[in-house]
Structure 1
Amino acid sequence: MTENTRPLEGLRVVEMGAFIAGPFCGQMLADFGAEVIKIEAPGVGDPMRQWGRHRHNGKSLWWPVLARNKKSVTLNLKSEKGRKMARELVDSADFLVENFRAGMLEKWGMGYENLKETNPGLIMIRVSGYGQTGPYKDKPGFGSIGEAMGGIRYITGYPDRPPTRIGISIGDSLTSVFGAIGGLVALHQRQKTGKGQMVDIGIYEAVLSMMESMIPEFQFAGEIRERTGSVLPNVAPSNIYPTSTGGFFVIAANADNIFGRLCKAMGKPELAEDARYSTHTARGEHQAELDDMISEWTVNYTAKELQIMMDEHGVPAGLIFTPREMLQDPHFKARKAIIEVADKALGSVKMQNVFPYLSETPGGVKWTGPDLGEHNEAIYGDILQLSASQLEELKKEGVI
């Protein structure tokens, strides 16, 4: 196996749809070597080309990451010719990733039952708000709605304030991860049977899967988890604590032996033997006073001083990182967690690496998000065998 071989090389993915749910699935498959052909509307493209709080040289700073390693073709799926071309591309593919509203592809004659007639090995990854079945399937669904329905919005924030959101599009991204997992599971099954299948995941379901024991807690104890801010109730000490410079430092010493080591670092080893704090249950019952006690100690030190003491005593602890700390941190550098990729408009772009690391066939980033329709000639020429004159005519007709 050559150094440049990636584990999904030789697999072709056609990506339809836009935004994050679905396209992030395509990004992950592309990162590990799959050929991802992204279909975008002519002259418009994926809205993510425009999204983000900041732009540089007229280009979104979100697009280079989300669309990295992908090939872009333009195609009007609302036209009969466009759908025919899309169908031909899908016939050549191993995967189709789509995140239209449920039923949209069926209206275009491109539902799974139609597509598998000419490509029985096709694995169709369908990402939507509510899934492909059920009474809500026809409703429009965005990540924020799925997060609310799946339960994460209700428990995020502080108890004396309304529910808040996590600072990233967690619902969309989680759904894409589940879509990728489902696609690879289906690929493994296809190796046994030669047949593809449909992978169906709703945003609310991906979020729901992360909700730990919330359902049986309600079933057996009648308890609904509430917002708890920066702590987990009865898990102590595990919180953010103030420093002498006004910042915050995370300490997680909720196991008995680790709590003992924290007490030694604080110069109060006797606390570990105190009946109020000596067991997990006892510490949970005295969580607030324990956090107050630790805060009174940490506020006398800088984060750097606290980190040295915690490391010396074997206590899990650390800074709350922003990109500033990430780009300077030696562990990030040693693990190559952040890489630099050349971009035609932006120059050198720093972005997160491909995770997880594989020892023999790691993923990688060959290029950033492509220009709109950058690969029209190559894809339509090589796969659909269309000539330059045919492509020019299709462009005049608004098909590509």
Structure 2
Amino acid sequence: MNDTTTKPAGTGPLRGVRVVEMGQLIAGPFCGQLLGDLGAEVIKVEDPKNGDPMRQWGQASVKGSSLWWSVLARNKKSVTLNLRTPEGQAAARSLAESADIVVENFRPGSLEKWGLSHDELKQTNPGLVMLRVSGFGQTGPYSTQAGYGSIGEAMGGLRYVVGDPSTPPSRVGVSIGDSLAALFGTIGVLAALQERHNSGLGQVVDSAIYESVLGMMESLVPEWAEEGVQKERSGSTLPKIAPSNVYPTADGQWLIIAANQDTVFRRLAQAMGNPGLADDPEYATHTARGERQAELDELVAEFSLQFTADDLVARLNEHSVPVGKIFRVEDMLSDPQYKARRSVIEVESDNYGSVTMQNAFPRLSRTDSAVRWVGPELGQDTEEVLAAVGYDQNSLADLRAKGVIR
């Protein structure tokens, strides 16, 4: 693990921005990860006994530490504080005084109970931007209810439309609700920082998980509200969008072929050796293809089964038809596009050894994002960070004796 005195500063566009991350699990911390990738100094505040539960999450670990944690907490410093004690709250206020951004995802009302609300913190730091991520937002009749990402996915409309129509609603295989709330929250934070240049003042960014999911639901609301059309589960397709599906190959693999646009479908027909298909009135237009989606999928599947996956990809690329294999991680690690862009990298760590993980995104041409180190040990930066805001060794020893820090 990198020593706290030698951790490299960020070189990204948020270099010099200080973030205090309070909260746990995914919705708040993923925002902290994104800000850290972009160069911000991220100070993660954790409970001194067990830290963030994400330290134990995931399907694999190294030396007892979660590999998921190594990604989610990368580029962060770990400070332990018991926020349920007056001493811990005082230390958190000191950190917030020096911060540009505070990120939190406790249940609404928790910060107010601890004397850490934005209204209180802005008295000494009027430029403070605070991101508050929660299941239902800071207002409304549901605001005080517990709300995990899965609940937000359900109430935001996503769960109902995911899966095969013959099965109950499914879930996406990642914590997409939490991550979307963090993404929308990050956008809000960056917008608030930009506005601060004009006003000199911070503000609260209120990111609700269910609203973040809802924001991605395309035409779901107006189609029902205006025309009474309810989007249903449709498996691997989008209704009336054809051909765009998963198709089998001769060697038992599956490919995504997306040729629903008129010009692209014409190129697919040429690749299929049947250029007249694009002029057939039953398939010539987007609307006509949508009406005959199932039979068109059968035609494309008959064609795809004549080729191995690699041969079919090559053939369709020659005709500029969008196509892609359904990747597992082993495919990513050997893929030339991934290698050329360093989409997956190895990050050295004393605790984990070399950890392979996804790189920081998006890429910037002049002040690029970067992964500087993996998730830290619990509390490893506590003394360094608190000393920088005025705590001497005697004060730190007192906090440690009281169990406020680790």
- Normalised TM-score (structure 1): 0.98
Equivalent position SS for 1:308:
helix
- Please show how residues 172-321 of structure 1 align to structure 2 within 5 Å: 172-321=178-327
Whether the 8 Å CA contact 2:10–2:39 is kept in 1: the answer is no
- 1:101 paired with 2:101, answer no
**Superposition deviation, residue 5 in structure 1:** 2.9
- 1:325 paired with 2:347, answer no
* 2:68 matched residue in structure 1: 62
Q: Which amino acid aligns with 2:11?
A: T
CA offsets per residue over residues 3-59 of structure 1, 9 Å max, x none? 973211111111000000010001111111111110000021000000001112221
Equivalent position SS for 2:245:
strand
CA offsets per residue over residues 110-152 of structure 1, 9 Å max, x none? 1111111111110000000000000000100000000000000
Q: Which amino acid aligns with 2:47?
A: A
Looking at structure 1, the residues matched to 153 and 369 of structure 2 have their Cα atoms a distance apart, in angstroms, of 29
Equivalent position SS for 1:201:
strand
* 2:400 matched residue in structure 1: 395
CA offsets per residue over residues 220-267 of structure 1, 9 Å max, x none? 110110000111111110000011122211100111121111111111
**Superposition deviation, residue 388 in structure 1:** 2.2
- 1:36 paired with 2:42, answer yes
Looking at structure 2, the residues matched to 390 and 197 of structure 1 have their Cα atoms a distance apart, in angstroms, of 32
Looking at structure 1, the residues matched to 262 and 320 of structure 2 have their Cα atoms a distance apart, in angstroms, of 13
Q: Which amino acid aligns with 1:149?
A: M
Q: Which amino acid aligns with 1:396?
A: A
Whether the 8 Å CA contact 2:10–2:40 is kept in 1: the answer is no
* 2:53 matched residue in structure 1: 47
**Superposition deviation, residue 268 in structure 1:** 1.2
* 1:386 matched residue in structure 2: 391
Looking at structure 2, the residues matched to 207 and 344 of structure 1 have their Cα atoms a distance apart, in angstroms, of 38
* 2:372 matched residue in structure 1: 366
Equivalent position SS for 2:160:
coil
Whether the 8 Å CA contact 2:10–2:370 is kept in 1: the answer is no
Looking at structure 2, the residues matched to 93 and 299 of structure 1 have their Cα atoms a distance apart, in angstroms, of 58
> Which residue, out of 173, 181, 204, partners 1:167?
173
Q: Which amino acid aligns with 2:392?
A: S
Equivalent position SS for 2:207:
strand
* 2:33 matched residue in structure 1: 27
Looking at structure 1, the residues matched to 272 and 324 of structure 2 have their Cα atoms a distance apart, in angstroms, of 16
**Superposition deviation, residue 302 in structure 1:** 0.9
Equivalent position SS for 1:275:
coil
Whether the 8 Å CA contact 2:58–2:67 is kept in 1: the answer is yes
Looking at structure 2, the residues matched to 248 and 219 of structure 1 have their Cα atoms a distance apart, in angstroms, of 37
Equivalent position SS for 1:161:
coil
Q: Which amino acid aligns with 2:243?
A: P
Looking at structure 2, the residues matched to 97 and 56 of structure 1 have their Cα atoms a distance apart, in angstroms, of 28
**Superposition deviation, residue 88 in structure 1:** 0.9
> Which residue, out of 93, 101, 112, partners 2:118?
112
- Normalised TM-score (structure 2): 0.96
Equivalent position SS for 1:163:
coil
- 1:340 paired with 2:338, answer no
Equivalent position SS for 1:158:
coil
Whether the 8 Å CA contact 2:103–2:132 is kept in 1: the answer is yes
Out of 14-23 and 111-120, give the one that drifted further: 111-120
Residues 390, 132 of structure 1: CA spacing in aligned structure 2 closer, same or farther, 3 A cutoff?
same
Equivalent position SS for 1:153:
helix
**Superposition deviation, residue 389 in structure 1:** 2.9
Equivalent position SS for 1:6:
coil
- Please show how residues 1-20 of structure 1 align to structure 2 within 5 Å: 5-20=11-26
Looking at structure 2, the residues matched to 206 and 94 of structure 1 have their Cα atoms a distance apart, in angstroms, of 24
CA offsets per residue over residues 54-87 of structure 1, 9 Å max, x none? 1122211101100000000000001111101111
Equivalent position SS for 2:256:
strand
- 1:355 paired with 2:361, answer yes
Looking at structure 2, the residues matched to 104 and 393 of structure 1 have their Cα atoms a distance apart, in angstroms, of 25
Gaps of 5+ in 1: none
**Superposition deviation, residue 207 in structure 1:** 0.3
* 1:144 matched residue in structure 2: 150
Looking at structure 2, the residues matched to 257 and 36 of structure 1 have their Cα atoms a distance apart, in angstroms, of 47
Q: Which amino acid aligns with 2:371?
A: V
Equivalent position SS for 1:160:
coil
Gaps of 5+ in 2: 1-8
Equivalent position SS for 1:367:
coil
Q: Which amino acid aligns with 1:185?
A: A
Q: Which amino acid aligns with 1:54?
A: A
> Which residue, out of 108, 117, 128, partners 1:122?
128
Looking at structure 2, the residues matched to 94 and 119 of structure 1 have their Cα atoms a distance apart, in angstroms, of 9
Q: Identity of counterpart residues, as a percentage?
A: 57
- CA RMSD of superposed structures (Å): 1.1
Out of 253-262 and 201-210, give the one that drifted further: 253-262
